[in-house]
């Protein structure tokens, strides 16, 4: 179990176990706050692109993490992303603590609709929305 | 300069230099074929999620790579993704050679519209479309 | 100037003049409330599809109206939609008063990023997000 | 049954019966050509916005028509759009014959993934992709 403090993320966030690609791209962390899933990761040099901004793929992966945890509520329920739309609002930089907040708009029997905004401080960095399938 | 052969990718593909996050998530490779940009990467264990399928974030990052190279034609022209929409068609597995093909639909003065399909053999894995901004 | 009361929409909403297609598909109405743009239209039989639910194209057009007015703040500033993503959460029915709320996430020099949810009472019907270009 | 010739659309296209909103926004027509669904409509003054270009909502509705008919193959199989993403490439004008072509990328048991480009002559006007649900 990865420790958020080792990645300069506040200690109230926890790690979702079992996804090696996610850990390699991030790692990312989550917390349940007021019935919502919130997520966090600290941008380091290895997350950055040729412009020294956080890479779009890292941001989309973090958004997908946020949306999937929003859909499964942080439980060990497996999910699969059906579609994921992203808009890039502003660049994030090395050292930024990136925070995501998942908002579930509709929870169906097999499909969950979620959207999120990723922020660095007061600045909105990325907005995303997804259709997520609940797997048995 | 990374060598495609070291990553089990055909030798006619080349590496786009300078993006450390991309290399860490991939690495990915590209080639100009018949006036189009084609891209490739070999899925390994470290690209996979908890289901041993290629992680959605890796696929979206590879799609973004494909779309951005489609927009800049593989040149050292810098670009930034404005929006990127993804639909997940089928899972890809460890060992698959994933191939992308960028199709530029409109090249404006500052915005380029591109779409792509990522395939493993005959199976369509992911389709994506993006608005890409050309940077000065 | 169309009167909201003639279309069973509350009197505090107003009409945005000059778009004949919009009036024919809707008409739709808007109000500035607490610094935000809110929109409204009453679903009638002519807005419905073969299932007697409000047609997806009508909903996307109403979402686009909401997003564009969010981007121009209800002023006579012309705008053009660059991209618009929609997710359909639940069906809306004949007789429903559909209300939209635009949330501007980033206002750049030439591009504005907006998202909205369309609701019928407490039920979220459609969520959409767009990149909108400000025209001179 | 609406006649394509009454709407300045080639006679090999046919009308999909039963959707009053669609007919009011369009009407639109379709044909099966080489195993694919192609669609058509003639832009008239009533389809245009304040700039005398075809309204974005009309274009998204025509794209949705194209995508849904792509999903059901032009049969009386009912479908519902789950998500629909649109990028606006160029304006279309009054008098243009708009042609759409649906490309099914994946046909699952309950979900179909389709994309399309809407063109006016050689000019790509709109690209869209959707997740479509097959209804029983």
Token representation of residue B71? 């927009």
Is D109 in the B-facing interface, judged by CB distances under 8 Å?
no
- In chain D, residues with a C-beta closer than 8 Å to the C-beta of A83 are 82-83, 85, 131
Q: What is the pLDDT of residue C79?
A: 94
* Minimal C-alpha gap between A23 and chain B (Å): 10
Average pLDDT over residues A17-25: 89
* Residues A27, A45: Cα–Cα separation, whole Å: 13
Domains of chain B, first to last: 4-134 (3.10.129.10)
**Candidate from B41-45, C26-30, D17-21 with smallest mean pLDDT:** D17-21
Is pLDDT at B48 greater than 90 in this prediction? Answer: yes
Is B86 in the D-facing interface, judged by CB distances under 8 Å?
no
* Minimal C-alpha gap between A114 and chain C (Å): 10
Q: What is the pLDDT of residue D9?
A: 97
- Name which residue leads in pLDDT, D84 or A35: D84
Q: Which residue of D has its CA nearest to C87?
A: D83
Q: How would residue C39 be classed by pLDDT, with cut points 50, 70 and 90?
A: very high
Query: What DSSP letter does each residue of chain B carry, written as one string?
Result: ---GGGGT--TT-BPPTT-HHHHHH---EEEEETTEEEEEEE--GGGB-TTSBB-HHHHHHHHHHHHHHHHHTTSS--EEEEEEEEEE-S--BTT-EEEEEEEEEEE-SSEEEEEEEEEETTEEEEEEEEEEEEP-
Q: How far is CA A30 from CA A76, A127, B3, B117, D36, in A?
A: 13, 17, 37, 32, 45
Is A55 in the B-facing interface, judged by CB distances under 8 Å?
yes
Average pLDDT over residues A102-130: 97
Within 10 Å of residue D25's Cβ, how many Cβ atoms? 29
- In chain C, residues with a C-beta closer than 8 Å to the C-beta of D65 are 57
Sheet holding D29-33, edge to edge: C29-33, C36-42, C97-107, C111-120, C123-134, C79-88, D79-88, D123-134, D111-120, D97-107, D36-42, D29-33
- For an interface test with B, the pick among C80, C81, C82 (most B C-beta atoms closer than 10 Å) comes out as C82
* Residues B49, A21: Cα–Cα separation, whole Å: 6
Q: Which of B136, B78, B128 is nearest to B103 (CA)?
A: B128
* Minimal C-alpha gap between A33 and chain B (Å): 25
The one-character DSSP state at A13 is: -
Is D84 in the A-facing interface, judged by CB distances under 8 Å?
no
Q: What is the pLDDT of residues A67-110, one digit of tens each?
A: 999 999 988 888 999 999 999 999 999 999 999 999 999 999 99
- For an interface test with C, the pick among B111, B112, B129 (most C C-beta atoms closer than 10 Å) comes out as B111
Is C89 in the A-facing interface, judged by CB distances under 8 Å?
yes
Handedness of CA B106, B74, A61, D105 (dihedral sign): positive
Query: Least CB-CB distance to D127: which of B87, B115, B124?
Result: B115
* Residues A39, A33: Cα–Cα separation, whole Å: 10
- In chain A, residues with a C-beta closer than 8 Å to the C-beta of B84 are 56, 60, 85-86, 88
Q: What are phi and psi of C35, to 5 degrees?
A: 75, 5
Per the CB < 8 Å rule, is B83 touching C131?
yes
Is pLDDT at D1 greater than 90 in this prediction? Answer: no
Tokens 């018949």 found at: B34
* Residues B53, B30: Cα–Cα separation, whole Å: 23
Is pLDDT at C129 greater than 90 in this prediction? Answer: yes
C89 and C125 in contact (C-beta within 8 Å)? yes
Q: What is the pLDDT of residue B27?
A: 96
Across the A:C interface, residue pairs with CB atoms under 8 Å apart total 39
First to last CA, chain B: 25
Q: What is the pLDDT of residue D120?
A: 98
Average pLDDT over residues D13-37: 92
> What is residue A54's three-state secondary structure?
strand
Per the CB < 8 Å rule, is D129 touching B127?
yes
Query: Least CB-CB distance to B129: which of D83, D106, D127?
Result: D127
Per the CB < 8 Å rule, is A129 touching C90?
no
Chains that touch A (3 or more CB pairs under 8 A): B, C, D
Q: What is the pLDDT of residue C62?
A: 98
* Minimal C-alpha gap between D3 and chain B (Å): 32
Host H or E run for residue A73: none
Pairing of strands B111-120, C79-88: unpaired
Is A86 in the C-facing interface, judged by CB distances under 8 Å?
no
Task: Tell me the sheet residues that pair with C112.
Answer: C107, C132
Query: Least CB-CB distance to C61: which of D48, D54, D60?
Result: D60
* Residues B32, B70: Cα–Cα separation, whole Å: 9
Query: Least CB-CB distance to A89: which of C83, C85, C105?
Result: C105
Is B89 in the A-facing interface, judged by CB distances under 8 Å?
no
Average pLDDT over residues B53-66: 97
């Amino acid at each position: 179990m990865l420790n958020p403090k080792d990645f300069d993320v506040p200690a109230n966030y926890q790690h979702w176990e079992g996804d090696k690609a996610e850990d390699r791209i991030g790692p990312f962390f989550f917390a349940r706050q007021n019935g919502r899933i919130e997520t966090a990761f600290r941008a380091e040099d290895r997350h950055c692109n040729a412009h020294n901004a956080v890479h779009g793929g890292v941001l989309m992966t973090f958004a997908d993490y946020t949306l999937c945890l929003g859909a499964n509520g942080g439980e060990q329920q497996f999910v699969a992303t059906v579609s994921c739309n992203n808009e890039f609002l502003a660049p994030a930089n090395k050292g930024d603590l990136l925070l995501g907040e998942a908002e579930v708009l509709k929870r169906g029997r097999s499909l969950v609709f979620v959207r999120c905004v990723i922020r660095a401080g007061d600045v909105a960095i990325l907005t995303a929305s997804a259709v997520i399938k609940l797997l048995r």
